[in-house]
Amino acid sequence: MIKEPPFDIYAEPVYDINEIKNILPHRPPFLLVDKILELTEDYIVGLKNVTMNEGFFMGHFPNEPIMPGVLQIEALAQVGGIFALNGLEDSKSYSTYFLKINDVRFRAKVVPGDTLVFSLEPIAPIKHGICIMRGKAFVGNKLIMEGELTAQITKNK
């Protein structure tokens, strides 16, 4: 079951930003996860602090800054990627790639100053490197976005 609010965003993280950089190949400005709050065999919870310093706010939109939905999906996927790679012995040797995005719903705007919390769970066991997850994004106790993501876990060349 997907973990729901409230979340303790001040708890000691499972992974901080430096540890996340050891798992994911992404780098700023495209690294969209600041820390992992919880990680079990059944779910993961990650966090992104949304600040006015994000480059996309200059153009989206200048007089009403809103975090683009595609970047919300990407941040959700990065948290899911950490979940998928966590169980691998040599996770640095693998990456995850989108195969499919289903049933995404945006319910509210994400603006500078928001703290986005992502909660994901696998829909089925990872099989043949295919990982299917359901995820939700929250700001405080409010559901902001949800969807289903499918990714392929691939050994790096």
Residues identified as active-site: 60
Q: Is 17 in a helix, a strand, or coil? A: helix
Neighbours of 77 (CB within 10 A): 24
Tokens of 99: 């195969």
Decide: 141 and 5 in contact? Cβ < 8 Å.
Answer: yes
Give the position of tokens 């050994």.
155
| Distance, CA of 126 to CA of 94 (rounded, Å) | 14
Give the position of tokens 């939700």.
136
Decide: 55 and 65 in contact? Cβ < 8 Å.
Answer: no
| Distance, CA of 81 to CA of 113 (rounded, Å) | 25
